[in-house]
A and B are shown apart, each in its own frame.
Chain A
Amino acid sequence: MKIGSFSGSSYRRLPWDYADTHESTWVDFDAGLLDPLQVNKDINDSLDVLEAADRAGFDLLGLNEHHSSAFTMNPSPNLLLAALARRTSKAALLALGNSIALYNPPQRVAEELGMVDVLSGGRVIAGFPVGTPMDTCFAYGTNPSELRARWLDAFELITQAWRRPESFAFNGRFHQQRYVNVVPRPVQKPHPPIWIPAGGSVETWRFCAEHDLFYSYLTHTGFQSGEKTVRGFWEEMKAHGREPNPFQVGVTQFVGLAETEEEAFKLYREPGTYLFNVLQHVHPRWSNPPGYVTENTIRTKLQADLAQGDKSVQLKTEVNTMHRKDFDQMVEQGFIMIGTPDQVAEKITRFATSQGVGNVMFLMQYGNMSKDVALYNTELAGKYLLPQLKGLFESEWEHKWWPKPLSEPARPAEVVLA
């Protein structure tokens, strides 16, 4: 099993009554509330925690991309991955992801991830999500019903830019480029592994199955409620004649470790509550721009609702359904796994084995968690949780979606001027 530490760089000092007094933490919220001194700490602390994860033995460090948001103040994972590339040496560096439909021209993605791959000596994993409505349609003005087609266009351009050794012309649906010739190309050949971070849409499963790509199930509710989605993916894979290699799937999971379960509840209650009840406070008016969801998905959902006698149209996104939960409920429903390393190891082993999932992206720092607690969480994971999980699937399956780094890469030098 491969294990990652995945971070969101959240703003940690919004008022506790934010959900009662403000509409949203995303899109047109008052960014003046974000104190630059606090943001300076939030971003730097999150990188400190990720660097510690590298030293603690995590296999990968992951960063996501969101725009106009206090929930994740990271519009450009490539910038922060470049910072991590210089100060880490072992872990894979996962952009989870680059919302490729938003980069204009798409060569930008190929260039920047190419650069991080060069800097890191070949440790990049390129995640290409379609992106949330908040990020893509509202913060970046992308036409909702064009989004997926733009994503496809960009995917084609970027992968060709990496694969093809020569300069070439690209005449796509949304992008026309006369001379595509990316420098630097990535160190990894033919290119860094590509992961597709997504929710549970059939279209994504199908795309992964057709192109033999990694499916990264980005969920805020963790393994426990993710079974149906992961099963849906494996069914699609089977229909395409693909083997059920658990290393082709990853799931995200919030985790809070301590020496006793009681202590864990104490330490992580506030960060978990802040995460789900403050940071993820997003008004539903941002979550369903017309055309974002495909007609196939709508038809399936409407027919299912009406079959159950539900006449209301509720096309909720996952973020909205998180609202105002009690911490104990969150733990009970498995959104956050709280407990000792042994307790969490047992749960992860059980879920990963039954669902066939060979990669886990743990969120070790979330909500308003202090750096000290996040480091403690990371340290315990490194010492006691990871060793129990790392061997899973390793002898039965080969991980074909993993970086192939240089054996002797250049490392940052300590420069002393005479």
Chain B
Amino acid sequence: MSGVSERTVAVWGGRCRVMEAGTGPRLGVMAGHGGLPRWTPFLERLAERRRVVLVSLPGFPGSDSQHERLDGHLDWLAATLDLLEAADLAGCDLAASSTAAMLGADVAAYAPGFVRSLSLAGPYGLFDVAAPVTDVFAHTPGEVPGLLCRHPERYREAFAEPADVSALAEWRLRGLRAQAASARITWPMGERGLAKRLHRITVPVQLVWGREDRIVPPSYAEVFAKGLGGDVDSIVLDDAGHLVWVDQPELAARELLRFLDQQTTPHHQPALASA
């Protein structure tokens, strides 16, 4: 975990955490369920060839509780745009997973030119009553790792509690906060009308699904792909569940880098960063 910088940026009356490392063109990363509390092997691998910018949405790890003031999808979309702008990611490649991927998709739909390319891992945003999205929030805490990951031990490692007992209460509170924020984006079933505007996403999109995704069925990939307005690169990763970045960090990073390397649009030149 070399050279990871951490700062907070002003979003919606509070602070959101931004972690950065690596060299190369800027790549925005937004994680869904639970967020990413720490720098992970997936991000470390990406940082070999990209300047990885991990942003935490309101309520997500390292951020404040502004999620409690985001009422509905438009507010979340505005806050996401605020966050991406504050993190100097306007016009950059964006990779998003799970509940955050639904927001990433709508950033591209409503603000074309805001993202250069879009990689969506296990995205929320569609709902088929015949093959419903699993309600991960209607499960006890013990069941969650196995629901979200093919390898629950990798989930537990990614979300491992600090050894220092004095930090435990705050860690758990922030974990519950991140869940509340994720739930607030999608409650009750992640249906915010995205299907009606998929056609507006004309940037290149990579769809990444874990074959063992127990939350959003892999069958959704085809429906997503059909609706999108531009080029689609759709892959299914073996031995991976809903959180592919946690289950298969090396493979997911390699596939993302491959997709990014194929993009020919010029990179956005970011403004000079200010405090």
Q: What residues of chain A have their CB less than 8 Å away from a CB belonging to chain B?
A: 27, 137-138, 141-146, 149, 173-174, 284-286, 289-291, 295, 298-299, 302-303, 306, 311, 313
Q: Can you spell out 22 A-B residue pairs with CB atoms less than 8 angstroms apart? A: A138-B188, A143-B183, A143-B184, A145-B68, A145-B184, A146-B71, A146-B187, A149-B71, A174-B71, A285-B138, A286-B138, A289-B138, A290-B137, A290-B176, A290-B180, A290-B182, A291-B184, A295-B173, A298-B176, A303-B169, A306-B169, A311-B165
Give chain B interface residues in 165-192, CB to chain A under 8 Å: 165, 168-169, 172-173, 176-177, 179-184, 187-188
A286 CA to B139 CA, complexed, in Å: 7
- If A138-B138, A284-B140 touch, does A145 touch B180 (CB 8 Å cutoff)? yes
The 6 closest A-B pairs by CB, nearest first: A291-B180, A290-B179, A141-B188, A143-B187, A290-B180, A302-B169
Q: Measured between C-beta atoms, what is the minimum distance from B159 to chain A in Å? A: 13
Interfacial chain B residues near A303, Cβ < 8 Å: 169
- Residue from B173, B181, B187 within 8 A of A299 (CB atoms): B173
Q: Measured between C-beta atoms, what is the minimum distance from B28 to chain A in Å? A: 25
6 more contacts with CB within 8 A, not counting A302-B173, A313-B141, are: A143-B184, A145-B183, A149-B68, A291-B183, A306-B165, A306-B168
A174 CA to B75 CA, complexed, in Å: 13
Main secondary structure of the interface of A (DSSP, over half): helix
- Residue from A174, A290, A313 within 8 A of B172 (CB atoms): A313
Q: Measured between C-beta atoms, what is the minimum distance from A263 to chain B in Å? A: 42
Q: Measured between C-beta atoms, what is the minimum distance from A118 to chain B in Å? A: 35
Interfacial chain B residues near A137, Cβ < 8 Å: 187-188
Main secondary structure of the interface of B (DSSP, over half): helix
Nearest opposing residue in chain A for B139, CB measure: A285
Q: Measured between C-beta atoms, what is the minimum distance from A34 to chain B in Å? A: 22
A84 CA to B35 CA, complexed, in Å: 52
Interfacial chain A residues near B117, Cβ < 8 Å: none
A289 CA to B176 CA, complexed, in Å: 10
Interface contact A295-B140, CB-CB below 8 Å? no
Mark contacts of B12-45 with chain A using CB atoms, 8 A cut-off: 1 yes-contact digit, 0 otherwise: 0000000000000000000000000000000000
A384 CA to B187 CA, complexed, in Å: 51
Among A27, A138, A145, A313, which residue has the most Cβ atoms of chain B within 10 A? A145
Interfacial chain A residues near B143, Cβ < 8 Å: 285
Q: Measured between C-beta atoms, what is the minimum distance from B32 to chain A in Å? A: 13
Among A143, A290, A306, which residue has the most Cβ atoms of chain B within 10 A? A290
B50 at the interface (CB under 8 A from A): no
Interface contact B180-A173, CB-CB below 8 Å? no
A142 CA to B143 CA, complexed, in Å: 23
Interfacial chain A residues near B141, Cβ < 8 Å: 313
Nearest opposing residue in chain B for A307, CB measure: B169
Q: Measured between C-beta atoms, what is the minimum distance from B67 to chain A in Å? A: 7
Interface contact B138-A146, CB-CB below 8 Å? no
Nearest opposing residue in chain B for A148, CB measure: B68
Nearest opposing residue in chain A for B65, CB measure: A295
Q: Measured between C-beta atoms, what is the minimum distance from A106 to chain B in Å? A: 16
Among B65, B168, B183, which residue has the most Cβ atoms of chain A within 10 A? B183
A146 CA to B137 CA, complexed, in Å: 15
Nearest opposing residue in chain A for B185, CB measure: A143
Interfacial chain A residues near B139, Cβ < 8 Å: 285
Among B138, B140, B165, B172, which residue has the most Cβ atoms of chain A within 10 A? B138
Q: Measured between C-beta atoms, what is the minimum distance from B27 to chain A in Å? A: 29
Interfacial chain A residues near B181, Cβ < 8 Å: 291
Interface contact A146-B184, CB-CB below 8 Å? yes
Give chain B interface residues in 109-167, CB to chain A under 8 Å: 137-141, 143, 165
A179 CA to B98 CA, complexed, in Å: 41
A311 CA to B188 CA, complexed, in Å: 30
Interfacial chain B residues near A145, Cβ < 8 Å: 67-68, 180, 183-184
Interfacial chain A residues near B168, Cβ < 8 Å: 302, 306, 311
Interfacial chain A residues near B71, Cβ < 8 Å: 146, 149, 173-174
Nearest opposing residue in chain A for B138, CB measure: A285
Interface contact A289-B169, CB-CB below 8 Å? no
Interfacial chain A residues near B180, Cβ < 8 Å: 144-145, 290-291
Interfacial chain A residues near B68, Cβ < 8 Å: 145, 149
Q: Measured between C-beta atoms, what is the minimum distance from B98 to chain A in Å? A: 14
A285 CA to B68 CA, complexed, in Å: 23
Q: Measured between C-beta atoms, what is the minimum distance from B59 to chain A in Å? A: 9
